[in-house]
Chain A
Amino acid sequence: DAGVTQSPTHLIKTRGQQVTLRCSPKSGHDTVSWYQQALGQGPQFIFQYYEEEERQRGNFPDRFSGHQFPNYSSELNVNALLLGDSALYLCASSPGLSGYNEQFFGPGTRLTVL
C-alpha cells in the first residue's frame, strides 16, 4: 500500500513564473492538506481539500490555489512566484475532515525560486 506520493521531488523556477505541484493521497484517504515548510521552520498550513472543495485556508495569499480531483488526488498551484516561496511543500492526507491524528505526510516537493 503506497503512502502519500508527491511530484516532482525537486523543482527550480524563476521569479514571476507559475508552478504546479501534485499529490496522491494514501489509499482510503479522501482529504488532502497542503503545507509550506521554510528552511529551519515547522510546516505552515496552506489549505485543505475535501470533496473537491477548499474547506479551510491558512494565511496565504490568493497566489496559492489548489484543486482536488474525483480520485482524491490534488494539485497546488502558485502564481507569480517570489523568492520567498522557496520552501519544501508537503502534502498530507487523512480519512475525513477531522482525521488530523491519522494524517500522513508525503516526502514533499522542494521548490527553489531564483
Chain B
Amino acid sequence: GQQLNQSPQSMFIQEGEDVSMNCTSSSIFNTWLWYKQEPGEGPVLLIALYKAGELTSNGRLTAQFGITRKDSFLNISASIPSDVGIYFCAGRMDKLSFGAGTTVTVRA
C-alpha cells in the first residue's frame, strides 16, 4: 500500500497546550481521515476531509487537507488529559492506508 509518514512519532502534552501532528505521502489521496485509538479499543474517526485545501474542525480538533493532496495536519487546542492516546492519519484512494501513529502522553 501507499507509504504514509506521520510525525512526530510521539509527543508529551501539558494541559492547556496546543499540539500539532502531520502526515505526508508520496502519493495523492482523495480523502484524508484522522483517527484516535485508546488501549483495548479500535480506532475512532475524529475528522474526515474530502477536498484539497479543506479545513475542518471538530470541537478542539482542527485538520486540513493539503493543497497538493499529499499531506494533512491535525491540531489539538487547549489539551486536556483525556487527549492521550494514539492518533492515526489515513489516506484513501481506492483503499485506506494508515500512518504509523503519533502517541500522545501527558508530561509528568
Contacts and interface: CB of A to CB of B under 8 A. Distances in A.
B40 A43 contact: no
**Contact-residue size bin, chain A (C-beta under 8 Å from the other chain):** 20 to 34
B45 interface: yes
A42 interface: yes
A4 B98 contact: no
Contacts, number: 54
B43 interface: yes
A107 B43 CA distance: 8
A56 B4 CA distance: 20
Interface stretch (B12-20, B59-67, B69-77, B87-95): B87-95
B78 interface: no
A45 B42 contact: no
Contacts of B88: 42-43
B21 interface: no
Interface of A: 4, 33, 40-45, 56, 58-59, 90, 92, 100-101, 103-108
13 contacts: A41-B100, A42-B88, A42-B100, A43-B43, A56-B94, A92-B42, A100-B31, A101-B31, A101-B33, A103-B45, A104-B45, A105-B41, A107-B40
